[in-house]
Amino acid sequence: MGELMDNKKKDQKRQLLILTILGLVLFFGIWEIVVRVGIISERNLCTPTKVVQTLIYKLYNTKPDGSTLFVHFLSSIKLSLFGFILAVVVGVPLGLVMGYYKAMDSFFTPLFEVIRPIPPIAWIPIVILTLGIGFQAKVFIIFISAFVPCVVNSYLGIKLTDQTLIDVAQTYGATRWQIFTTICIPSSMNMVFTGVRVSLAASWSTLVAAEMLASTEGLGYMIQIGRNLIRPDIILVGMITIGIVGALMGWVLSLFEKKVAPWRY
Amino acid sequence: MNDKIRKVLYGLLSVSALALFVVGWVAVSHMEGTMLPTPPATFTRFIEVMSAPISKATLPVHIWVSLRRVLIAFVFAVTIGISLGIGLGWSAKFNAFFGPLFEIIRPIPPIAWIPMIIIWFGIGETAKIVIVFIGAFTSIVLNTSAGIRAIDPLLISAGKALGANRRQLLIDVAFPATIPAILAGIRTALSSGWMCVVAAEMIAARQGVGFLIVRGQESGDTALIVVCMLAIGIVSALLSTFLSKMEGVLCPWQFKKTK
Amino acid sequence: MAVQKDKIIIRGLSKTFYQKNKVVEVLKNINITVKENEFLVLLGPGQCGKTVLLNIMADLDKPTEGEVEFTDGRPEMGNLGIVFQRYALFPWKTVMGNVEVNQKFKGTPKEKRQQAAQKYIELVGLQGFENALPQALSGGMQQRVGIARAYATESDIMLLDEPFGALDAQTRYSMEDEILRMWEQDKRTVIFVTNNVEEAIYLGDRIILLGGHPTGVKKEYVPEMPRPRNYTDVAFLKLRNEIVNNTDLVL
């Protein structure tokens, strides 16, 4: 009987797997054919096979955008990690403290509320004019984009601490500082990590924007050049790399989370 | 009494923070060789652009141009996004077929689509609407499908036990139960869509706040840049306030405590 | 009491769950006969599979072995009255919306189904709250909605899965009286699941004690006491002790 049920489940799984493969094959197949046959012109789109060719080509060649794919990647990841880590190091403690100490809350929240609604991208022009288009300028923009979610989520995490836990600690004679470090911070970790995750995605996507607007290397620059040269293959290789790197960073972060906050899983 | 003094002190702290901010701004803007405009200069510029057109439009018109792009894109993103999200969350087969494709496209930030979209649609209205659509669409799909999957199984059991067929189960049970998640998705989508429109306009446009801010950059008009930043921020804040009001109206059982 | 005809016959019912390389036998060889219009209590400790048994009766789950026979034919989905422990009200629907939902699914015209729903809202004493959302009601009132919703299926069989388990003691006592009052007023076959011995003795025409691993029928008790029963009555306490001594302890 048990085997029978297992078989039924297996059948279902197999059916779903076939559908998945069918979906992918159809998608890439139709894409390939549509371009080959000329329904969509090569100026607008290239075939998936061409994308793979360009990807391999870009591993070793600097043409037409000045650097190999790896150099672009390195330049982008360096910037985004730098801004992101800076934002986490500053933003998370600030958010935690703002959530716990009323004085910090009253002081920083109004300032923060002024800055918060401005999308990080809107900072780019003023930053370019004051800091130029170098490393500093880009790190600053990425910092802003990653900083906001770090603060907001850490703040909320503290605010959402279960009052019962705080009361229990109080009856056991914990000091305010002890309550903060042993109750509030651990229980806010869930929200903190959500914030960090959002920050990572925001920093990556803002970086791409910054590189598109003002840069001489990086993946964002690469796709922008692809557009100027009307080379869909270059753009697509850039987009795919951006997507893969973004997904990989998210994955690494989740591994890290499992280490640091295992109770979440 | 003590509490009252405390409250006043905290209030003073908030005020002094804002005061400090303004003082800091004034100080930096008066420094030698600075690019930052003084607050009065910014205000004067603001009054100017309210009435004097740049690129054939005053500031309110530029804001309206950007907003219109977001709203049009939103109509599509909401309808298509919710339908796709429901499909992915409700049907294992639909999910098996489209889920992986969606997962391939999802990690690409909407802004990275801009070059491709410009190649496909030029730099006109359509291009911008498509970019905002991409920016808004993903989070609506994600939240809808996650919301459907997260429905309390007890509600589904109750629906079945009360005789709902599969269609009624979806329309009368699963969908209303998912509305809060959908609204959360729309909220994320709106801020992402607003950011995308600004980005798209910064890269290529003749009107809109994103265009205006870049115009400020190109002509070294920092006062204009700051005015635009504030305008963009205020619109974004207004949009999210509007949405939280909508949430209260659309699902009172979730957001309004009637007790 | 007059001889009642058999309403539901559970024969040799077993349920086994197959999880990842683990086999969990929950129910084993359960045989129960439910009489027409009786108030039958299924009493068992927490986590013993009472809900699974009820779900199988309601056709929300399938048995591994055995069968559930309804002597008048198995009612279609939606033609059984079920009350859930965690209420399972639709939070976006008003009291009226919740109570009428079964008839709505069946396609009854609006006016007719609301009339019927109104009758049951009054039966549970919630007139005046028709347009309130469940979250505005107390736990006891919410479960009244749950009961009205089950009654509104017009089913002659009611399955109640620890309906008062989430209520505080005072509300619980009054709800026990309420459910008896409703049952006297509108006789149906009631299968009431609980883990509370006093509740079982207070309510049941018959009590079936479930227990063991996997769960089976341990014993059957018939409280020969007139209603309303008294918690401090000697016969009540005696039966209580007898059942408690026979119950598996679950800590």
What whole-number distance in Å separates Cα of residue B10 and Cα of residue B87? 50
pLDDT value for B3: 82
Position C228 pLDDT exceeds 70? yes
Report if residue B120 sits inside a domain: yes
A121 and B199 in contact by Cβ < 8 A?
yes
Domain of B91 in residue numbering reads as 57-257
Of the partner residues B154, B162, B251, the one whose CB lies closest to the CB of residue C102: B162
Task: Tell whether the model's pLDDT for residue B32 goes beyond 80.
Answer: no
Q: Per mean pLDDT, which range of A28-37, B218-227, C12-21 is the poorest? A: C12-21
Rounded to an integer, the average pLDDT of B133-154 is: 93
Q: Is B38 on the interface with A (CB under 8 A)?
A: no
Query: Do the domain assignments include residue B100?
Result: yes
Q: Per the domain annotation, does B229 fall within a domain?
A: yes
When CB atoms are compared, the residue of C78, C92, C132 closest to B163 is: C78
pLDDT digits (tens, 9 = 90+) for C181-206: 989 888 899 999 998 999 999 999 99
* pLDDT confidence tier of residue A145, bands split at 50, 70 and 90: very high
Residue C208 has pLDDT above 90, yes or no: yes
- A259 pLDDT exceeds 90? no
Alpha helices in chain C (DSSP H): 50-57, 95-99, 101-105, 110-123, 139-151, 169-185, 197-203, 234-246
Rounded Cα gap, residues C123 and C84, in angstroms: 19
Q: What is the mean pLDDT of residues B149-160?
A: 91
**Is residue B84 assigned to a domain?**
yes
Q: Report the b/e string of B177-199 with b at 16+ CB within 10 A.
A: bbbbbbbbbbbbbbbbbbbbbbb
Contacts of C93 in chain B (CB under 8 A): 176
Res B258: pLDDT? 37
* A192-201 confidence digits (pLDDT tens): 998 999 999 9
Backbone angles phi, psi at C9, to 5 degrees: -120, 120
Residue B46 has pLDDT above 60, yes or no: yes
Give the domain CATH number at B235. 1.10.3720.10
User: By the CB < 8 Å criterion, does A7 face chain B?
Assistant: no
Domain-wise residue ranges, chain C? 1-80+157-163+189-251
Residues of chain C with pLDDT > 90: what percent? Answer: 42
Calculate mean pLDDT across residues A83-97.
Answer: 95
* CATH of segment(s) C1-80+157-163+189-251: 3.40.50.300
Dump pLDDT digits (tens) for A40-57: 888 888 889 889 999 998
Q: A31 CA to chain B: closest CA distance, Å? A: 13
**Residue partners of A235: CB distance under 8 A and separation at least 6:** A223, A226, A227, B115, B116, B119
Average pLDDT over residues B216-229: 91
Backbone angles phi, psi at B137, to 5 degrees: -60, -50
Average pLDDT over residues C3-32: 86
Q: What is the mean pLDDT of chain B?
A: 89
CA distance to partner chain B, nearest, from residue A181 (Å): 23
Beta carbons of C133 and B158 less than 8 Å apart = no
Taking residues A141-164, report their average pLDDT: 92
pLDDT band at C41 (very low <50, low <70, confident <90, very high): very high
pLDDT at position B255, please?
57
pLDDT of residue B257: 43
Give the pLDDT confidence score for residue A61 in this predicted structure. Answer: 82
- The answer on pLDDT for B140 being more than 90 is yes
Minimum Cα–Cα distance from B210: chain A residue: A122
pLDDT tens for each residue of C238-250: 999 988 888 766 5
Confirm whether B89 is domain-assigned: yes
CB within 8 Å of A144: residues ≥ 6 apart = A87, A115, A120, A123, A206
Mean pLDDT of A76-96: 94
C18 touches chain A (CB under 8 A): yes
Is A1's Cβ below 8 Å from some Cβ in C?
yes
Residue of A20, A120, A126 with shortest CB distance to B96 = A20
- Beta strand C6-19 pairing with C81-83: unpaired
Whether C251 shows a pLDDT value over 50: the answer reads: no
Shortest alpha-carbon distance between residue A2 and chain C (Å): 7
Number of domains chain B contains: 1
Q: Write down the pLDDT at residue A9.
A: 76
Minimum mean pLDDT among B19-28, B116-125, C18-27: which range? C18-27
pLDDT digits (tens, 9 = 90+) for B87-131: 999 999 999 999 999 999 989 999 999 999 999 998 889 999 999
- Report whether pLDDT(B259) > 50: no
Q: How confident is the model at residue A1 (pLDDT cuts 50, 70, 90)?
A: very low
**Residue A217: pLDDT over 90:** no
Structural contact between residues A183 and A99, judged by C-beta atoms closer than 8 angstroms:
no
Q: Would B179 be classed as within a structural domain?
A: yes
